[in-house]
Amino acid sequence: MSTPTWVPRRRRGAELALTVMAVAIGVFGYIAVGLGVSGTIPSDTYALIGGLVLAAIGAHLAVRRFAPYADPILLPLVLCLNGLGLVMIHRLDLGRQAIDPERGAFAGSQVVWTFVGIVAFAAVLVIVRDHRRLQALTYTFGLAAIVLLILPLLPGIGHEQNGARIWIRLGPFSFQPGEAAKICLAIFFAGYLVVKRDVLALAGKRILGIDLPRGRDLGPILLGWLISVGILVFQRDLGSSLLFFGLFVVVLFVATERPGWLVVGSLLFAFGAWLGYTAFGHVRVRFEAWLDPFADPDRNMQIVSALFGLAHGGLIGRGWGQGSPELTPFSFSDFILASLGEELGLTGLMAILLIYGLIVERGLRIALTCRDGFGKLLAIGLTMSFAIQVFIVAGGVTRLIPLTGLTAPFLAQGGSSIVMNWAIIALLLRISDQTRRPAPPTSSVGSDEQTQVVKL
Amino acid sequence: MNKPIRLLSIACLLMFAALLVNANVLQVVQADDLNAREGNRRVIDEEFSRERGAILVDGTPVAESVPTDDRWSFQRQYPEAGLYAPVTGYFSYIYGQSALERSQNSILSGSDNRLFVNRVVDLLGNQEPQGGSVELTLDPVAQRAAAEGLRDLGEGTRGAVAAINPQTGEILAMVSQPTYDPNALASHDLSATRDAWDQLTADPNQPMLNRSTQLTLPPGSTFKLVTAAAALENLNLTPDSEVKGGAELTFPGKQYTLPNQGGSDCGGDPISLRQALEVSCNVSFGDLANQVGEDALVEQAELFGFGADPLQGLAYERSRVVGAQSEGLEDTQLAQTGIGQYEVAATPLQMAMVAAAIANDGVVMNPYIVDTLRAPNLEVLEQTEPSEFGEAMSPEHAAMLRDMMVSVVDSGTGGPAAIPGVQVGGKTGTAESAADRPPYAWFVSFAPANDPQVAVAVLVEAVTGDTSDIGGGRLGGPIARSVMEAVLR
């Protein structure tokens, strides 16, 4: 084995410095909301600073201890987004309750969920000491994904909200299992395809320049995917259907290295979109609202209000607490990017989009440099699903593409979303740690040289 | 597997580039359009909460924002209530804005590009942005005189007065009756606003209509000034030229005859052009219209401003000589057109412009109502300069017509407008628009004839009683006189 020319560095100090800045952005945002709404610095600022610093330092220490070679930028980026999201949800609580005191506040529970998310983040780092061990559980995760997706349809625990049946409710807690299913499916796809990639790519007939795999190779994964997407369509959760479909096509493309899959995927998507447009009234409504929201400003009031807000925000925004983002329904969840764009302006919105872009870039880099096939596929799957989700939600609220209900990762209100996204970042950091870790010292025992060390 | 990952990286790059470009398009390029859209509550709330600039007449606000301590920080007030309502319009949370509140909104609200530096200074100084002010050309004494004149005819009488400075085009008075109180629509009590709106829109007398610019009606005998101008210009007449007189005008091969009002014979046949105008002889001008021809008559009217919209900032209905569907007039119709009937319809402001042009050596000035736009620090942003609409007639012919109009006041139907010691020119008119409705009374005038300072048009709708031209002079003359006196004081 040759000596690597690249000396791995931990860069944990850089991560800490960036983490402090990320926390500072959140804290100053909170103070600015206080000044903007009531003209005073909120009295509980110290408690907030304390809590945030504690959580951030906890996350940082978990990385330092359990993934010392992991990418140093991801954690601060995510903390920054999480902080901005909390501040915006708090600000919208104030705005919405100024209109009607009966309306629920979300900031408090979102803080709790953030802590749960960071605990989940640390737990993943502690439990999954080597991501390759997940490969052994490929089919378990596949099954888990299907079970999770079926749960909301079960009577008793399933719960419909705003026209989509994607929640389960256990006692006081409601949870969106689709978010967890996304991770399970990514693991399932990666584990399955890394084994079958050669047969998928090579065996089988070649039709119209596309190597079609044999049915028995493709069957299981196709089935798993069909069930997931089918359930989601049944639950009227179009955003997630689109996301899972994209995840599947992307991982298949990377595994087989056959661009034909992208063509097939695009055709299938076009067909599905056409089917949805003709079969479902709500798809047609969304599409028409995208083409010309002002044709029916009352029906398209939500997107119209978001566009007015973004335009009113302009270049530099109204400032924290100075705009009217609370006029838009779901300003704190699906439309939180529009709320941020209104108060922080184009400048702030672009900064947030760039943070998302950087997270995606770090994910792609992890996928590129990862040395094992499973890790590569898992990293690209998680990263691309993140990128597609951001594109769908940000493009939707800014009228780049038709609106589909998805949450903006780390910003939008919603417990399951924030917890699962923290878990995704933990998985990416785990793969990154494995990748950047220095090669194991050459053992004096010759036979060990050919064996890769798998930490158990 | 790295090749596909690199391809996907490029795809991600494109996706995020699209998001960023789209955000720029939305928040910068399309922002102004979106902000200007109706029903944009953010913009309405912001404009309502801002210190909106004042609309001033002679330095006194007729629309101003005063601080309040409710949800919005400022209340729009109209101290003179209905007097300036046709000009200022209203500023309502629910119903938007109208008239100058609407057309001057960017200055009043402070969002105009010329106020950009002020906004930046306000932003840096953490000051609430302020709107600029709009100074009008109106003369408050003339405005009040016109409104009182109309009110003296009875609260139920519909009418309008427009007065302009013939030499500059400045609008000196613009009154419409019945009017409305814009304070009721600017109220922060939204249910009261709704009630007021419902009541105003249901009123058959249309109190929110600015009758001096938005209502075109047959101008009747006042249109004979246009016919006379066309005759002077095209037929080379003088005031002493002989024109057809007599009791009625006949048309070859037709049953129809055009009579004079009250069966008069205009004092003989033929008579002088001067006498024809003095007694407002239908026969003479019906005949002159046919001598001049339709094309020349329409062209003459358009030179005075018919068919155009020369007024900036206020809703304006274009005046017309023939209907849009018209395919050439028959001689009977042309004769009726020549005396301001048939399809002729004009706004009071248009008829004031006709009188003003005759007084101003034939030169038509563009009428304007906004004199000066000022920034919150009183710096002048824009000063309207008088501009020519065009030359309607030669100075010589204008002098002849002016001279004849003075005769109308001195020894004809326009007697009630006479001001001792001042040469006043005028012309009366009544017109019927439908047989079952009472006619309209008109009066146009200017003063003084040698150095014109003011031209007035008075319209009184739905006159009952005396329907002759003398009625027009009797109803409109005193109002025109008091407006002219107010300007000349």
ipTM of model: 0.91
> What is the C-alpha to C-alpha distance for residues A27 and A43, in angstroms, rounded to an integer?
13
pLDDT at A271: 80
Give residues with Cβ within 8 angstroms of B168, minimum separation 6: B365, B386
Task: Give B-chain residues touching A341 at CB under 8 angstroms.
Answer: 23, 27
Name the residue facing B16 among A309, A327, A353 (closest C-beta).
Answer: A353
* Residue B467, pLDDT above cutoff 60: no
Name the residue facing B39 among A297, A380, A398 (closest C-beta).
Answer: A297
Task: Give B-chain residues touching A377 at CB under 8 angstroms.
Answer: 1
> Could you report how far apart the first and last alpha carbons of chain A are, in Å?
23
Q: What is the pLDDT confidence band of residue B367, given thresholds at 50, 70 and 90?
A: very high
Name the residue facing B27 among A345, A391, A395 (closest C-beta).
Answer: A345
Per the CB < 8 Å rule, is B30 touching A384? no
Per the CB < 8 Å rule, is A308 touching B26? no
Which of helix, strand or coil describes residue A210?
strand
Give residues with Cβ within 8 angstroms of A335, minimum separation 6: A302, A306, A325, A328, A329, A397
Please check whether residue B115 is in contact with residue B142, taking contact to mean a CB–CB distance below 8 angstroms. no
Per the CB < 8 Å rule, is A312 touching B46? yes
> What is the C-alpha to C-alpha distance for residues A73 and A384, in angstroms, rounded to an integer?
18
pLDDT at B20: 96
Q: What is the pLDDT confidence band of residue B26, given thresholds at 50, 70 and 90?
A: very high
Please check whether residue B49 is in contact with residue B72, taking contact to mean a CB–CB distance below 8 angstroms. yes
* Residue A384, in any domain of the structure: yes
> What is the C-alpha to C-alpha distance for residues A98 and A12, in angstroms, rounded to an integer?
43
Residue of B3, B6, B7, B16 to mutate for A, most A C-beta atoms under 10 A: B16
> Which of these ranges, B136-150, B367-381, B428-442, has the smallest mean pLDDT?
B428-442
Per the CB < 8 Å rule, is A308 touching B31? no
* Residue A5, in any domain of the structure: no
Task: Give B-chain residues touching A294 at CB under 8 angstroms.
Answer: 37
User: Biggest alpha carbon distance in chain B?
Assistant: 110
Per the CB < 8 Å rule, is B27 touching A361? no
* Residue B295, pLDDT above cutoff 80: yes
Domain extent, residue A56, equals: 12-438
pLDDT at B471: 62
Interface check for B71 against chain A (CB to CB < 8 A): the answer is no
Q: Report in angstroms the alpha-carbon separations of B369 from B1, B123, B455.
A: 74, 32, 15
Which of helix, strand or coil describes residue B379?
coil
Per the CB < 8 Å rule, is A314 touching B22? no
pLDDT at B366: 94
Give, for A310, the enclosing helix (H) or strand (E): helix A301-313
Q: Are strands B60-67 and B55-57 parallel, antiparallel or unpaired?
A: antiparallel
* Residue A135, in any domain of the structure: yes
Interface check for B3 against chain A (CB to CB < 8 A): the answer is yes
* Residue B70, pLDDT above cutoff 60: yes
Tens digit of pLDDT for each residue in B369-426?
Answer: 999 998 888 888 889 999 999 999 999 999 999 988 998 888 877 778 888 888 899 9
Tell me the shortest Cα–Cα distance from B27 to chain A, in angstroms.
5
Beta-ladder partners of B388: B365
Residue of A353, A366, A431 to mutate for B, most B C-beta atoms under 10 A: A353
Interface check for B39 against chain A (CB to CB < 8 A): the answer is yes
Residue B340 is classified by DSSP as T
Closest to B288 measured CA to CA, from B239, B224, B219: B224
Residue of B2, B3, B6, B8 to mutate for A, most A C-beta atoms under 10 A: B8
Name the residue facing B42 among A257, A324, A373 (closest C-beta).
Answer: A324
Residue B171 is classified by DSSP as E
Which sequence positions of B are flagged as catalytic? Answer: 221
Higher pLDDT, B377 or B23: B23
Give me the percent of chain B exceeding a pLDDT of 70.
Answer: 96
> Which of these ranges, B123-132, B264-273, B342-351, has the smallest mean pLDDT?
B123-132
Question: CA angle, A247 as apex, A245 and A253 as ends, to 5°?
Answer: 105
Give, for A105, the enclosing helix (H) or strand (E): none
Which residues of chain A are modeled with pLDDT < 50?
A: 1, 446
State residue A333 phi and psi, 5-degree precision. -120, -90
Per the CB < 8 Å rule, is A309 touching B42? yes
* Residue B197, pLDDT above cutoff 80: yes
Interface check for B15 against chain A (CB to CB < 8 A): the answer is yes
Mean pLDDT of chain B, nearest integer: 87
Per the CB < 8 Å rule, is B20 touching A356? no
* Residue A42, in any domain of the structure: yes
Structural domain count of chain A: 1
Higher pLDDT, A396 or B110: A396
Per the CB < 8 Å rule, is A367 touching B5? yes
Beta-ladder partners of B63: B55
pLDDT at B445: 92
Tell me the shortest Cα–Cα distance from A150 to chain B, in angstroms.
31
State residue A121 phi and psi, 5-degree precision. -55, -50
Higher pLDDT, B48 or A300: A300
> Which of these ranges, A216-225, B59-68, B446-455, has the smallest mean pLDDT?
A216-225
Q: Is A202 exposed, middle or buried (0-12, 13-18, 19+ CB in 10 A)?
A: exposed
pLDDT at B174: 94
Per the CB < 8 Å rule, is A314 touching B4? no
Task: Give B-chain residues touching A345 at CB under 8 angstroms.
Answer: 27
pLDDT at B468: 55
Q: Report in angstroms the alpha-carbon separations of A165 from A162, A421, B32, B461.
A: 8, 21, 39, 66
Name the residue facing A315 among B1, B2, B28 (closest C-beta).
Answer: B28
> What is the C-alpha to C-alpha distance for residues B104 and B98, in angstroms, rounded to an integer?
10
Per the CB < 8 Å rule, is A398 touching B12? no
Task: Give A-chain residues touching B43 at CB under 8 angstroms.
Answer: 308, 312
